[in-house]
């Protein structure tokens, strides 16, 4: 279906439930050839409430309101990119149990293809889960392409701090992302989700803007020690999480003042990443941070103090941290269309390299 570089449009609606990102990437599914325009469509308060109410639900449950939000938001935003030749549509993750009921991303790519009049690649995760993989994270294959784009020479890591934290360790000396030893990827633990939930529940705010509340608080070290005893941290990667897997953190900080609770949940992110770094085959030369967490200076300071290598936002490498996930699904869409793998044992634990995704065509 795809021969040579094309302009692909990727869309991502993450677990932070803030809105939809869209970004254009010129790629042949192997190399990144260039970056194009990007856009963002914020969810309104009622839309965000509809999505939050649907979290944890599976197909067959009442999802009509949330489905309308996801579908409409994507149709409106993606229609602003007529130059896109193919679209990668991730949808909205509502539930993720790779060793249980599977994985559920809300949204219909077939309907989106009809609305946009262009082929849409969607349902990226199901095939990986069916073959024994975690179904996440999927961005690592794109991270490998970025390593080539950056002409990196030594292993480094990309840390995404969205609702959940995930880490990709990349060895750019390898020739392909599915090659053994090229990638190791896994979720590290909680990132912004517990902190955002705290801010919403206690103060009616979406997030700890600029880390201002956490900066006023004291970390409850006992809570961090209890967190590190969670079985998840002892599991070998690859491994993945659902947004609600660390919901017990809310109970752990329930009796703390607002500032101390925010400081503790922020420190939990750094502590989780520090534990995760123990799994890297060799220490990374540096850690580039993407996702909303990179905008929290307190979180970034705690990461820098916890890790033994330089920590910086991906912008220092000339990348767009707001759009990296959307770009990833643009890139993966082209790989799916070309029949190339999108995950491998080192990224999701799947038994062999596998290409996920369903291609829906207009008309």
Interatomic CA distance for residues 15 and 241, integer angstroms: 11
- The dihedrals phi and psi of 2, each to the nearest 5 degrees, come to -115, 125
Measured in whole angstroms, the distance separating CA 199 from the mean position of its chain's CA atoms is: 21
Task: Let me know if residue 301 belongs to a domain.
Answer: yes
Q: What is the pLDDT of residues 263-282, one digit of tens each?
A: 999 999 999 999 999 999 99
C-alpha distances (whole Å) from 153 to each of 159, 201, 223 are 18, 45, 39
For residues 78 and 173, state if they share a domain. no
pLDDT tens string 230-240? 999 999 998 88
Does one domain contain both 184 and 302? yes
Closest CA to 292 of 213, 168, 195: 195
Q: How far is CA 215 from CA 218, 220, 262, in A?
A: 8, 13, 8
- Could you tell me the pTM of the whole model? 0.93
d(CA 235, CA 232): 5
Maximum C-alpha span of the chain = 59
Q: Given this model, what pLDDT does residue 3 score?
A: 77
DSSP state of 125: S
Q: In which domain, by residue range, is 103 found?
A: 6-135+323-360
Do 161 and 296 belong to one domain? yes
| Whether residue 187 sits in one domain with residue 282 | yes
Tell me: do 189 and 46 sit in the same domain. no
Same domain assignment for residues 97 and 58: yes
Residue 175 is assigned to a structural domain of this protein: yes
For residue 158, tell me if it sits in a domain: yes
How confident is the model over 44-97, as pLDDT tens digits?
999 999 999 999 999 999 999 999 999 999 999 999 999 999 999 999 999 988
Quote the mean pLDDT of the chain. 95
Residue 60 lies in a domain: yes
What is the CATH number for 121?
Answer: 3.30.420.40
Residue 62 within any structural domain of the chain: yes
Q: Which among 263, 197, 226 has a CA at the least distance from the CA of 52?
A: 197
For the chain, what is the domain count? Answer: 2
Please say whether the beta carbons of 40 and 117 come within 8 A.
no
355 and 242: one domain? no
Instruction: Tell me whether residue 1 is in a domain.
Output: no
Check whether residue 23 and residue 166 sit in a common domain: no
């Amino acid at each position: 279906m795809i021969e040579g570089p094309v302009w692909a449009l990727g869309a991502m609606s993450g677990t932070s439930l803030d809105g939809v990102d869209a970004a254009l990437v010129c790629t042949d599914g192997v190399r990144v050839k260039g970056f194009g325009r990007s856009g963002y469509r914020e969810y309104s308060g009622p839309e965000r409430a509809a999505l939050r109410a649907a979290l944890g639900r599976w197909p067959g449950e009442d999802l009509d309101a949330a489905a309308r939000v996801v579908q409409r938001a994507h149709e409106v935003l993606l229609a602003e990119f007529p130059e896109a030749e193919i679209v990668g549509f991730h949808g909205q993750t509502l539930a993720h149990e790779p060793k249980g009921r599977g994985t559920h991303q809300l949204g219909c790519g077939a309907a989106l293809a009809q609305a946009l009049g262009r082929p849409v690649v969607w349902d990226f995760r199901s095939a990986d889960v069916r073959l024994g993989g975690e179904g996440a994270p999927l961005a690592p294959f794109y991270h490998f392409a970025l390593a080539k784009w950056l002409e990196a020479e030594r292993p480094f890591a990309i840390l995404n701090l969205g609702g959940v934290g995930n880490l990709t360790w990349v060895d750019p000396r390898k020739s392909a992302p599915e090659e053994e030893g090229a990638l190791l990827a896994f979720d590290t633990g909680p990132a912004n989700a517990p902190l955002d939930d705290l801010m919403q529940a206690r103060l009616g705010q979406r997030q700890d803007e600029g880390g201002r509340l956490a900066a006023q608080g004291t970390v409850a070290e006992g809570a961090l020690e209890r967190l590190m005893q969670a079985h998840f941290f002892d599991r070998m990667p690859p491994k993945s999480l659902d947004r609600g897997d660390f919901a017990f953190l809310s109970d752990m900080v329930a009796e703390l003042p607002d500032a101390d609770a925010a400081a503790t949940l922020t420190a939990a992110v750094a502590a989780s990443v520090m534990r995760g770094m123990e799994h890297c085959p060799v220490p990374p030369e540096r850690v580039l941070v993407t996702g909303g967490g990179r905008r929290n200076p307190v979180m970034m300071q705690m990461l820098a103090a916890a890790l033994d290598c330089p920590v910086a936002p991906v912008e220092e490498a000339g990348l767009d941290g707001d759009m990296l996930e959307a770009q990833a699904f643009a890139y993966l869409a082209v790989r799916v269309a070309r029949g190339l793998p999108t995950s491998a044992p080192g990224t999701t634990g799947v038994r062999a390299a596998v290409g996920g995704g369903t291609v829906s065509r207009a008309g």
